[in-house]
Amino acid sequence: MTALTKPLLLRDEVFLLGHDGDTGRPHIHPQALALGLAGAVLIDLFLTRHITLTPAGDPHLYPHRHHKRPTGDLIADTAITSIRHATTPPPLRGWLRAFSTDLYTRTRTTLVTTGILHHHQRRRIAGLIRTNTYLPSHTRWHIIPHARLCALANGREPPDNHIAALAGLICVLRLANHLRLDNNTATLPTRLQNIANQHYQPIRAITTAIDTTIGDLTTATYR
């Protein structure tokens, strides 16, 4: 299967949609985006039955006892290992903070390695300053998830678990208005969130934990 026919992981779609497709600049702070990436890793693992969460209260992460095969994705398998070999089941918010530490760079490196992103280096001010830019190698990588979210926002596509989870992540990361999914920007986040809320409760727990953890980071910045 070639790179152009292989479906993207939720984590990779969040990374791509979190950046301007023409300039490569992130729409939000990379640290906040990294928390969204960590949550996307967990959601993919939940949807493929590699992990489970406690049903209520302060969620904790558990490896799924009936699914012990690796995913074949290094980042996802590292996540499973960190959960499986923890002394006690890790709390969701604590795991998100810890796993997101260098996840922005790891995700970008993986996308470059697989040919989804291209690294461009530019020189400015008589060649004294080098600027690194990472752009999609094909417009497909940005267009397909964007088009599916547009169709979802306008009621043209019934949501499956993957696109509903992507909608929830886009909302919690405050990316909806950056993507210009439709003209009614005032109601767009609410519509996407309502769609996301119709799916699995553990996925809602993950997006809520992302939102709370980003809020904690913002509060700490202004102390």
CATH number, domain of 37, equals: 1.10.3630.10
Indicate the SS3 state at residue 121.
strand
The confidence score (pLDDT) of residue 186 equals: 79
Q: Tokens representing 31?
A: 């640290």
Whole-model pTM? 0.90
The confidence score (pLDDT) of residue 77 equals: 96
Q: Flag whether 49 is in a domain.
A: yes
Q: Flag whether 158 is in a domain.
A: no
The confidence score (pLDDT) of residue 164 equals: 93
Q: Flag whether 212 is in a domain.
A: yes
The confidence score (pLDDT) of residue 216 equals: 85
Q: Flag whether 61 is in a domain.
A: yes
The confidence score (pLDDT) of residue 26 equals: 96
Q: Flag whether 20 is in a domain.
A: yes
**Domain range for 66:** 10-137+200-218
Ranges of residues in the chain with a pLDDT under 50 are 1-4
Q: Is 88 exposed, middle or buried (0-12, 13-18, 19+ CB in 10 A)?
A: exposed
Q: How many independent structural domains does the chain possess?
A: 1
The confidence score (pLDDT) of residue 1 equals: 38
Q: Flag whether 184 is in a domain.
A: no
Q: How far apart are CA 1 and CA 3, in angstroms?
A: 7
Alpha-carbon dihedral sign for residues 51, 217, 194, 59:
positive
Q: Flag whether 78 is in a domain.
A: yes
Q: Flag whether 53 is in a domain.
A: yes
The confidence score (pLDDT) of residue 6 equals: 66
C-alpha closest to that of 3 among 119, 148, 112: 112
